[in-house]
Each structure stands twice: as structure tokens, then as C-alpha cells.
Amino acid sequence: MNITNSLRDPAVIRALGAQLKNLSLSRKITLMEVCGTHTMALHRGGIPSLLPDTVRLLSGPGCPVCVTPASYIDRAQEIGKNYGVTLTSFGDMLRVPGNTKSLSESRSEGINVETVYSPLAALDMARKHPAIEVVFLAVGFETTVPPIAMTVMNARDQGIDNFSILTAHKLIMPALELLVNDSDVRVDGFILPGHVSLILGSEPYRPIAEKYSRACVITGFETADIIQGIIMLAQQIEISQPSVEIQYCRAVKKDGNPQARGVIDTVFEPADSEWRGFGTIPLSGLNLREEFADFDASKKFPVEVNAETVQTGCRCGDVLRGRIEPAECALFGRNCTPEHPVGPCMVSSEGTCAAHYKYSRTR
Amino acid sequence: MTDGNIVGTGERIQLLHGSGGLMMQRLIREIFFPAFGADNDAGFDDAAEITLHDGPLAFSTDSFVVKPLFFPGGDIGSLAVSGTVNDILMKGAKPYCLSLALIIEEGFPLAELKTIVKSLADTAKIADVRIVTGDTKVVGRGEIDGLVINTSGIGEILPNASISGVNARPGDVLLVSGEVGNHGIAVMAERNGLKLKGNIASDAAPLNASVIPMLERFGESVHVLRDPTRGGVAATINEIAEASKVTVLLDESSLPVGREVEAVSELLGFDPLYLPCEGRFLAFVDGGKAESILRFLREDAGCPDATQIGTVTETSNGEVLMTTVSGGQRIIDMPAGELLPRIC
């Protein structure tokens, strides 16, 4: 039996579930799962219903679609409209509202938008149709950047000049640092993202534990992983010895994946970046380096976009910062549902509001 | 018979095959009639003549746009017969006859059409149902994507069956006739070009052989029947919970999901509960009879993997909950938005 199989052994999961339910703590604690994949996985596993009264779980900013600002969607639409390019995107982005409409709505009005499963598929499209300009919407945290960087390198090496990317990549560390410095957000420990840590390793998180005294556990995505991660965090907090532990040790190494970081570094450089709900965070995004400027859609297809965000009453920003839970937003489940989403947290398959609505709302 | 006999001018469907002239006659006479056992002369009448006994009938229609047309375990032909046959069965009726309409794109390979027609005929034979009337249209290249099929059908409702989506009630037990999600995964894997080595094949099949004997024996105890097609088990149970105004509680650890389906679902990001089946049924049955019905399905009705997956707990506005493996509980929601286009 391999590790993943034992993590799926119903007896193991049931025992861990019972352990979580009976967890006895000397005080109330608040934990945050940073990553959207964790948000979905833990709701799917029914974990919120197992938490003892002493453990509160908040969702963090690690859903790439959710933190992408409305102005990015607007820019993509303007490029599509003014230059007649074909926009290619992961499916999740299509329904995310911009300031006036979503890409899905613009598509019905005639802008070319195609869903792809990988950046390489977008590059393939450009190769097969040299007369069409293909723009890939490059969204995501450290996990999704290496394949996109490889795709840009391929495009350059193969001389494919009708391909470019519109970047809205985000880095997780600057957001975490902002959160631990936010006096409105009282988090005792972080369930740290497994996939991102495959690339980063555990070292970058050390200041969170050592300087800011927050418990940290890099956690896998099985129900059993997450329960174990929560229990490990509770133990760190209980003995007041915050550190960075790796629960997801079958995949994450201490120094992460240096080759993947090298690929990122070859193609991209850190840059200030706007986050929905956070505003602009210094050096929290990635832009293409000068030598890859030919593949930068924002330079290739300049457009004017209003930087202001239209107020809709949506509180995704507060949800992403862990300031409120979805049900505290006046729109949640009333004006804002997966069918008619107002904010991105209700759209994305990793969105906090979508997870709460789909798995845990009370009717 | 060679292709040359049928068309005289090539091996692809031409607009002339739908024009009502000689070429259309030959297409029908040489491909459709032999397959469906139709009379060469009376077959050209404008309508079929059928005689049924007294009593209520079930009448259903379904259109098929699956992409790709051929997938592991079936094709659009087997799907088009199973789909309508199963819809009739889910009303507690014995399917009697079907109509068949094909809309074909100009240039469609004749060899593929023949394979699909054979599959339609073979599946109809298994389902013990006759295809009694039909229609063929050919449209220009690019006006549709290959082939679209519509089937409609009539069946006679069994005397002891009173089945409807509004009939689930507290105390009922929910049974599923076999593993779920296979059809969805087979089609999506084929469409995405995944070369699967394992045994994933669509479950598309007519359900007569299990449903009819079950109803003949336990008709009064079967309250709701539904095949979990688009939206899968999750959407189907939600529809029934809402229509019957009850709460359904599923047990995650009892859901029959094959290992391959689980693995590919993970790879492609699907939840098997939302994947369509085309040869399975869900049955809400009287709690006191559930065990006997389950044993009958497994041992005498060709459903060895049939299993109990949930219960109806109380009256409500209609909600579906699931006890997870960890002992927690969560909602099973209606799917929002388009999950899997052109799956059937």
C-alpha cells in the first residue's frame, strides 16, 4: 500500500476525523488555509463540521482567479476588442466579472475567447494559425508559472511571433507578510499551500514562524492530510513553539525545486502587482523580463484601462484577507450565487465563497 | 453490397443523399431498411402504424450530439437507443417502439454511418424495441458537426408501477444499479486524447433486463426511478429531493466509483458524483423492501455492483447531504454552469 492509498484508507480517515472532533485545546485558535485548493478540499471532506468549537478556520488569498483584479479582465477585453486577437484562458477565468462584464459575456458579443487546459495548447494554436494573434491569460501563483515560462521560452526558440501572454502572476510570500502585519486579521497558524511549496520549499516561510510567531504547516490535499495539518498546527500553538513543519513530506522538500525557480527567474522578474481586495502589493507579481518583451501582450497591444474598481457591494476583498467569512457579506447566497456571481470568490472552483456555498451553507 | 452500389460516386455522404431523390432512396433502402428489418415497400409510407393495448403510455424524446461520435464502450448509435429506451423505463414502462431521425453533415464518411446504423440496430435488438419510423436530412459542410441523432419512443406503463420524481418519502432507501461516472470519463478521456490503458468504458446500455424484472416483482415498492445522465448522480438526486420535498442523506464510503474513474477524475478535475452515466439507474424504494430488492438486482437482474448509497431522512424544502468518509457532513449541490458539454 503506498502513502496516498493509506491516506485514503477509510479507517485512517475516520480515526483522524474522530481525533479532530475530540481535540482539546486550552484556548480558542484561528487558523487560515492560504490556498484555494485547500479551501475546496477541506469543504469537500466535510472538515468544517468536524472542527471543535475552539478551532476557527479562515480562508486566505491563495485563489489565483480570485485575487486577479477587475482591471486585468477589462484589459484583456480591450485587447480582444481593439486588436481582434484570440484570448486563451483556463476555464475558471471566463466567468470572473470585470468592471462591466466577464470574458464569457464578451465572447457572446463577438470577442474571440478560447478555453485551454495548458499554455502549451495556446502556443500550439498560434503555431497552427500563423495569421491569428494568440494571447494567453497568464494567471496563477508560483505553481503555474514554470510551465508558462517554459512555453514563452519555446515560443522564442521556435520563432513563433504571433503568441504573447498577459501576465497577472502572483507571489505568495508578499501576501502572507501583509496578512501577518494586518492588525484586523488575527491568525494563529497557517495551513501552507502544498503545491506552491513544491517550488518554494519550506525556507521562505521561516520568518512567518520566527519573526511573527505564527505556526506553519505545509499541508497536502487529501482529507487526511488536512486534518493532520490542523492537528499539527494546534499542537504548535498549544506549546507556543511556532515553526515551519512539513506535513506534505511525500512531495515537498526543504529547498523546493531549484530548477523550476531557475526557469521562472530566466523569464520573469518580480514587479509590483495589484491584488483584488489588497490593492497594490510591492514586488508581489511577476513581469516578463526585457529580453522577452516581444511576448508581453500589454506592450504588444497597448490599451487604456480605467484603474478604478466599480463598487458592487461585493466583499471578496475582505474574504480574501480573512477579515470576514463569506456569510458575513450581505450579497452571499442572495444576490451572489454560483449561477449569478458578483465577485470572483463565488466564481472560481477554488473560491472561498463558492466552497462555502457549495458544501457548507445552511438553507 | 459495396459502397459503390449505394452511392455510385464515392464513399462520403453528399447533399444529394438528403434531397429526396434516387440517392436518398438507395441510402435508405440499402443501409437503413436491412439494419432495422423494414419492409422495402411499406417502409416508405409517411408514418408507421402501431397497435397498443389499453392503459397509460410513456412517451419520451432525446437528441444526441455527443463528441466524439465513437468512444470506448459505445458510440452515438448505442447512446441514441439507450438514452430514449432508458427514459421510458424510468417511467415504469416497457419500451415498445422508437422513431429515429438523423441529420448528417455533407462529407460524412459512409463507413462510419454504416457502423453507427449497425450499432443502432444492435442496441435496439438488445432493448427489444423496434425502430418503426425515421427521417434523414443532409446539411452542408460546416453547418453541423458530423452527425446529430434524435430518437423518440413509446412504452406501455406496467400495471403495478406508479413511478414519479415526486414520490420519494422519509424512510425510503436509495439504490444505484452500478458504478457511477464511467460514461462521462470515457467520453472526456477520448475527447482529450488521453490514452487510457485501463478498463474505462462507457456504461451506455439499455436497462430493460434489470428494470423490467425488478418492477414486475417489486413494482409497488419502487417510488422513484431516474437515470443519472447529465449532471450525474448529484444533479439527479437534487432534482428528486426538490420535487419530493425531502432530505436525502448520502454515505460517501458506499458510493461505487471505479479506481480508473477516480484516478482520471482527479487528473481532469472532475467529481464522479457529477459525471453522467448512460446505463445506470437510481431507485428510491420502500425501506422495508430495500434489502430484498438489492439482493434481487445483484443476483437475478444482472447488476452485481448495485448498492445502497443513501436514505431519505425527513421532509424538507429538498436538500441533499452527504456523510463524508471522515465522519463530517457536507452539502451535495446542483452543479452550476456548464460542466461537460456534448457528453450525450
| Inter-chain touch B336–A339, beta carbons under 8 Å | yes
How is residue B239 annotated by DSSP?
H
Which residue in A17, A337, A360 is closest to B327 by CB distance?
A17
Q: How far is A18 from chain B (nearest CA, A)?
A: 8
CB atoms near residue A295 (< 10 Å): 24
**pLDDT at position B2 over 50:** no
Q: How far is A13 from chain B (nearest CA, A)?
A: 5
A46 touches chain B (CB under 8 A): yes
Between A and B, how many residue pairs show a Cβ–Cβ distance under 8 A?
Answer: 67
A182-210: buried (b, 16+ CB within 10 Å) or exposed (e) per residue? eeebebbbbbbbbbbbbbbbbebbeebbe
pLDDT band for position B198 (50/70/90)? low
CA distance B267 to B284: 32
Helix B290-300 vs helix B208-218: crossing angle, to nearest 10: 140
- The DSSP bridge pattern shows strands A215-219 and A244-246 to be parallel
Amino acid in position A29: I
CA distance B281 to B264: 22
Q: Beta strands of chain B (E only): which ranges?
A: 57-64, 70-71, 74-75, 93-105, 130-139, 147-157, 173-176, 222-226, 246-251, 282-285, 307-315, 319-323, 329-331
CB atoms near residue A33 (< 10 Å): 27
Alpha carbon B21 to its chain's center: 34
CA distance B48 to B57: 17
| Residue B58 confidence (pLDDT) | 96
Closest CA to A80 of A164, A146, A176, A154: A164
Residue A224: its chain B contacts at CB < 8 A?
Answer: 326
| Residue B1 confidence (pLDDT) | 38
In A158-275, which ranges are continuous DSSP H helix?
172-180, 194-200, 206-210, 223-238, 258-267
Contact by Cβ (8 Å): B136, B102: yes
Question: Which residue ranges does chain B devote to CATH 3.90.650.10?
Answer: 173-331
| Inter-chain touch B330–A95, beta carbons under 8 Å | no
| Residue B199 confidence (pLDDT) | 72
- What grid cell was written down for B293? 430488492
Q: Is A259 left (phi over 0), alpha (psi -120 to 50) or beta?
A: alpha
Q: How far is A11 from chain B (nearest CA, A)?
A: 9
**pLDDT tens over chain A, length 363 residues:** 466 668 888 999 999 999 999 999 999 999 999 998 999 899 999 999 999 999 999 999 888 888 999 899 999 999 999 999 999 998 888 888 888 889 989 999 999 999 898 899 999 999 999 999 999 999 999 999 999 999 999 999 999 999 999 999 999 999 999 999 988 888 999 999 999 999 999 999 999 999 999 999 999 999 999 999 999 999 999 999 999 999 999 999 999 999 999 999 999 999 999 998 888 999 999 999 999 999 999 999 999 998 766 677 889 888 988 888 899 999 998 889 888 888 889 888 788 998 898 887 654
Helices and strands (DSSP H and E) totals, chain B: 10, 13
**pLDDT at position B251 over 90:** yes
Catalogue all structural domains in chain A, each as residue range(s) with its CATH number: 4-64+184-246 (3.40.50.11750), 66-171+277-300 (3.40.50.11740), 314-360 (no CATH)
| ipTM of model over 0.90 | no
Q: Which residues 281-310 of A have a C-beta within 8 angstroms of B?
A: none
pTM of the model: 0.81
Q: How far is A300 from chain B (nearest CA, A)?
A: 32
Domain B15-37+54-157 - what CATH class?
alpha beta
CA distance B84 to A150: 48
| Inter-chain touch A363–B324, beta carbons under 8 Å | no
Question: Which residue ranges does chain B devote to CATH 3.30.1330.10?
Answer: 15-37+54-157
| Residue B70 confidence (pLDDT) | 96
**pLDDT at position B248 over 60:** yes
Which residue in A10, A227, A358 is closest to B331 by CB distance?
A358
Enumerate residues 6+ apart whose C-beta is below 8 A from B227.
B86, B87, B90, B207, B236, B277, B278, B280, B281, B282
CA distance B250 to B253: 9
Tell me what the pLDDT averaged over chain B comes to: 91
**B71-110 per-position pLDDT tens digit:** 999 999 999 999 999 999 999 999 999 999 999 999 999 9
How is residue A252 annotated by DSSP?
-
**B230-242 per-position pLDDT tens digit:** 899 999 999 999 9
> B192 to each of A96, A328, B70, B148, how far by Cα in Å?
25, 41, 13, 21
A16 touches chain B (CB under 8 A): yes
For residue B320, the chain A residue with the least C-alpha distance is A359
Give every strand in the sheet of A86-89, ordered side by side: A112-115, A86-89, A134-140, A163-169
Fold of B173-331: Phosphoribosyl-aminoimidazole Synthetase; Chain A, domain 2 (3.90.650)
The whole-number average pLDDT for the span B159-173 is 96
**B26-58 per-position pLDDT tens digit:** 889 899 999 998 887 777 888 998 888 788 999
Closest CA to A350 of A33, A48, A89: A33
| Inter-chain touch B327–A359, beta carbons under 8 Å | no
Contact by Cβ (8 Å): B168, B248: yes
| Residue A132 confidence (pLDDT) | 96
CA distance B202 to B279: 8
**pLDDT at position B178 over 90:** yes
